[in-house]
């Protein structure tokens, strides 16, 4: 019986370590983020499948993305609501996963240890079933929220890029002209 308790405890510690590592990776500020150059609201953004947003090949932090999108309040609101949905989804699905994992582990541990008899079988099934059910609802809800948040962020980036292409904007730059000379260039 002691070995089962140790195994369940080790699995719980491993799960907690994986969650802690994932959270630290999600909220870390690595050298890649600091290496991003100054951002421009006139350059397009690209978004990868994993949700990383770049401008001219440089990774952007959330604050830099907000700075780029601040030219249009509707796009900025769309991006902010997407990040909020992703955060809420994460905060709902992590406890849901823990509850479901604990319910499954509890049920398996009780059966492996042989602690089930006719008197307590119904209460063990009910208790673990409730934990697994609540955990599954948390995981499902969190996944839906994270997915819709990711979609809102993607739409904000696409909307920003569409606005750049469709606006009749112009820029006056100092640089190399098409003929190879140096001077003022007017870009439409």
Per-residue model confidence as pLDDT tens digits over 116-134: 887 888 888 888 999 999 9
What pLDDT sits at residue 31?
A: 41
Specify the pLDDT at position 136: 96
Residue 144 dihedral angles phi and psi, to the nearest 5°: -65, -45
Residue 34 pLDDT: 42
pLDDT at 124: 84
- First and final C-alpha spacing in the chain: 76
pTM of the model: 0.66
64-111 pLDDT, tens digit each: 899 999 888 999 999 999 999 999 999 999 999 999 999 999 888 888
pLDDT at 1 over 50: no
DSSP 18-82: HHHHHHHHHT---HHHHT-----TTS-EEE-TT--EEETTEE--HHHHHHHHTTSHHHHHHHHHH
Write the burial class of residue 29 (CB in 10 Å: 0-12 exposed, 13-18 middle, 19+ buried): exposed
Digit-coded pLDDT (tens) for 2-21: 555 555 555 665 676 567 66
pLDDT given at position 157: 93
CA-based nearest residue to 19, from 96, 79, 78: 96
């Amino acid at each position: 019986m002691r070995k089962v308790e140790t195994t369940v405890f080790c699995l719980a510690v491993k799960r907690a370590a994986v969650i802690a590592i994932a959270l630290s990776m999600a909220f870390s500020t690595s050298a890649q983020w600091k290496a991003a150059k100054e951002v421009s609201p006139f350059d397009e953004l690209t978004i990868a499948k994993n949700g990383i947003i770049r401008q001219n090949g440089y990774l952007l932090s959330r604050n830099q993305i907000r700075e780029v999108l601040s030219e249009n309040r509707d796009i900025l609101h769309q991006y902010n609501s997407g990040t909020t949905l992703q955060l809420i989804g994460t905060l709902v699905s992590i406890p849901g996963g823990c509850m479901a994992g604990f319910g499954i582990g509890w049920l398996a541990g009780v059966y492996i240890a042989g602690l089930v008899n006719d008197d307590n079988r119904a209460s063990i099934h009910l208790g673990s079933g409730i934990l697994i059910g609540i955990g599954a609802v948390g995981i499902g809800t969190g996944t839906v929220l994270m997915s819709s948040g990711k979609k809102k962020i993607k739409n904000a980036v696409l909307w920003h890029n569409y606005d750049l292409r469709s606006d009749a904007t112009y820029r006056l730059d100092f640089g190399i002209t098409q003929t190879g000379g140096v001077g003022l260039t007017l870009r439409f």
